[in-house]
Amino acid sequence: MGCSTPHTLPCYPVENALQSSLSLCLFVTEVIAQQLSQMLKSDRYRLTYVYSVNEFIEFIGSHTEHIDCLIVLRDSPALPFFNQLYEQGCLLPIIILECQQETSAPQETPTVIYHNAEIHLPESEWQTIPTVIDRAIAHYLHLGPSCTIPSPNASTQKRDPQDSQQSFLLLQQRRLADKLKERLGYLGVYYKRNPKSFYRNLEPAEKQEFLEQLALEYREIILTYFNQSVDINQEIDQFVNSAFFADISVSQILEIHINLMDEFSQHLKLEGRSEEILLDYRLALIDILAHLGEMYRRSIPREDIPFDVFYQTD
């Protein structure tokens, strides 16, 4: 929830706030802080306003692992500090606000100020900042450990920041992904789906192999569905996850079920047994489709969440 009056201290203690809300650190002027507080007054956010470089540096230093997104002005005196953060391997999602008067003046600052996942937001689009925050986090989630920052003033001293960058980056990305998962349901894992692994994008031989494996998993579920000694829920979860991350349609699951029931029917006829027993396995089909349908339902983009929050571009 935003503060009615901007403050140099966190609006709410970071440690005591709900884990699923987003912690934002804003280094802006008091006038702009008043504007943004109206745009970010949802309880989705915990806002911290700082108005000096020292306060900004101190807050980041003491809350690095809890900050979900930085919001700063492009002409902020703290910009040189971002090169230091980068060299220390401390990478955070960031939105850089551009004021109208800045766009007409020659730019002396580099195009990339902090890292390749930063977002520059023109003043004419500031009202979209709630959506842009999600986009900034999405870009950060896709940021690779080998990202670079072009800076002519970068130190030439020998150093190897890659290890520390990778360690911090991966930890922060995992933390934000978990937070998105908690706050948005399956959206937190949905972004991990790689379209290259979608069934429709596979090579013909890969499609055949995948369907055969999926059919084997389904057969195992059917054969053990009524066996009390088997953890059937775990088998169903595994099957549904495979289908979900391959973007398999419900009709394809139905086809697998029908083919398997036809196979069982033929065996029963050869043995002179009734096929009515096969009707019981509709329960397994309903169970699986319910699980899969729920995952797809909860992964449908909300209007206030940008598609690239959960769309994997790698």
- According to DSSP, the β-strands at 22-27 and 94-98 are unpaired
Q: Of 86-90, 101-105, 268-272, which gets the smallest average pLDDT? A: 101-105
Per-residue pLDDT at 218 exceeds 70: yes
Band of pLDDT at residue 217, cut at 50, 70 and 90: very high
| Structural domains of the chain, with CATH | 14-184 (3.40.50.2300), 197-309 (1.10.1240.30)
Per-residue pLDDT at 181 exceeds 70: no
Query: In the chain, what are the helix, strand and coil shares in percent, each to the nearest 5?
Result: 55, 10, 35
- Predicted confidence at residue 251, as pLDDT, reads 92
Contact call for residues 110 and 151 (beta carbons, < 8 A): yes
User: Average pLDDT over the chain, rounded to whole?
Assistant: 76
Task: Give the whole-angstrom CA distance, residue 21 versus residue 147.
Answer: 27
DSSP letter (8 states) at residue 12: S
- Predicted confidence at residue 180, as pLDDT, reads 61
Task: Give the whole-angstrom CA distance, residue 45 versus residue 68.
Answer: 10
Per-residue pLDDT at 99 exceeds 90: no
- Predicted confidence at residue 154, as pLDDT, reads 40
The SS3 call for residue 83 is helix
Per-residue model confidence as pLDDT tens digits over 192-216: 567 888 899 999 999 999 999 999 9
Per-residue model confidence as pLDDT tens digits over 129-174: 988 887 788 778 776 654 443 333 444 344 444 555 556 677 777 7
Per-residue model confidence as pLDDT tens digits over 231-261: 888 888 888 888 888 889 999 999 999 999 9
